[in-house]
Amino acid sequence: MSTVLRIAIQKSGRLQEDSLKLLKESGLQFSNGRDQLKAQARNFPVELLFLRDDDIPQYIEDRVADVGIVGENVWIEKEKHNELIKRLDFAKCRLSIAIPRAEEYTGISYLKGKNIATSYPVIVKQFLAKNNIEAGIHEISGSVEIAPGIGLADAICDIVSTGSTLLSNGLKEVEVVLQSEAVLIATPSLEKGKQALLDQLLFRIQAVQSAKNNKYILLNCPNEAIEKITSVIPGMKSPTIMPLGRPGWSSLHSVVNENDFWERIGQLKSFGAEGILVIPIEKMIA
């Protein structure tokens, strides 16, 4: 029997689309049966299992799946024997404590003796212990944000992305408990063949992520500016430089990081760069 890496991803919800997208961008092809439980990649020894995100850590611990994609919040909350292998840079959100807007928040000691409703009792307990606060935790599985309004709790701890849900329930965010994003998790000791497949997949994911964080840049510049421009956009090894038809001018090609892109562009212009073109990169292997 040949080795297959079994990857658990969310069946439906906020993680599903981006998880599939990442695997597809990593070159894995799947036939798109939406309502199925499993899917086999056509061109790589990978099998996908579609599960509820909350169940994924348990399935990995039970070795039904080898690796999985979940929110960091779920990984921590479930306290299973899974390792965090890689942060995936999507599904970014935070887990925060919120209280009724009319209340005056006096700092973390405000929470002493209060009752906090949450779907994340483990994470809240850790947070309270770290801050030396004794408070009650009321575990509920959904619609946490209505708990204060109906008198079930004094405060909540829940996922916040924009804050509009809090606002419409008369709440305000007062403490960030955890910053979360999608993560790839795995059993601590994969058998050799599976580990080799995972390493290949990680290599591909890395290439996809680097490509997303960088852009290919082309520009024209006077030859005197080449040195200065190279110091700003050194590229992967060094830029490609080609003479232009116009004497004294060159075309320079390089790679620029997304994060300091606009700052770099400003510098390049001030050095005399013209005709700047910026192009997305599909894969990038250093």
**What residue ranges bind ligand ATP (CB under 6 A)?**
10, 13-15, 52-54, 71, 73-74, 91-93, 159, 161, 180
User: Min. distance of Cβ 73 from ligand ATP in angstroms?
Assistant: 5
Q: Which does 33 bind (CB under 5 to 8 A by kind): Zn ion, ligand ATP, none?
A: none
User: Min. distance of Cβ 52 from Zn ion in angstroms?
Assistant: 6
Q: Which does 147 bind (CB under 5 to 8 A by kind): Zn ion, ligand ATP, none?
A: none
User: Min. distance of Cβ 77 from ligand ATP in angstroms?
Assistant: 9
Q: Which does 14 bind (CB under 5 to 8 A by kind): ligand ATP, Zn ion, none?
A: ligand ATP
User: Min. distance of Cβ 85 from ligand ATP in angstroms?
Assistant: 16
Convert the chain into a string of H (helix), E (strand) and C (coil).
CCCCEEEEEECCCCCHHHHHHHHHHCCCCECCCCCCCEEEECCCCEEEEEECHHHHHHHHHCCCCCEEEEEHHHHHHHCCCCEEEEECCCCCEEEEEEEECCCCCCCHHHHCCCEEEECCHHHHHHHHHHCCCCCEEEECCCCHHHCCCCCCCCEEEEEECCCHHHHHCCEEEEEEEEEECEEEEECCCCCHHHHHHHHHHHHHHHHHHHHHHEEEEEEEEEHHHHHHHHHHCCCCCCCEEEECCCCCEEEEEEEEECCCHHHHHHHHHHCCCEEEEEEECCCCCC
User: Min. distance of Cβ 10 from Zn ion in angstroms?
Assistant: 8
In terms of Cα–Cα distance, which of 161, 169, 67, 185 is closest to 117?
169
CA distance 43 to 200: 13
Site for Zn ion in 22-41 (CB under 5 A): none
Site for Zn ion in 49-78 (CB under 5 A): 53-54
Q: Which residues contact 186 (CB under 8 A, 6 or more apart)?
A: 60, 66, 67, 68, 82, 83, 85, 198
User: Min. distance of Cβ 54 from Zn ion in angstroms?
Assistant: 4
User: Min. distance of Cβ 51 from ligand ATP in angstroms?
Assistant: 8
Question: Looking at beta carbons only, is 14 or 172 nearer to Zn ion?
Answer: 14
Question: Looking at beta carbons only, is 91 or 99 nearer to ligand ATP?
Answer: 91
Q: Which does 71 bind (CB under 5 to 8 A by kind): ligand ATP, Zn ion, none?
A: ligand ATP
Question: Looking at beta carbons only, is 8 or 219 nearer to ligand ATP?
Answer: 8
Number of residues forming the site for Zn ion (CB under 5 A): 2
Q: Which does 91 bind (CB under 5 to 8 A by kind): Zn ion, ligand ATP, none?
A: ligand ATP
Question: Looking at beta carbons only, is 77 or 175 nearer to ligand ATP?
Answer: 77
Length of the chain: 286
Question: Looking at beta carbons only, is 58 or 200 nearer to ligand ATP?
Answer: 58
Point out which residues bind Zn ion (CB under 5 A).
Answer: 53-54
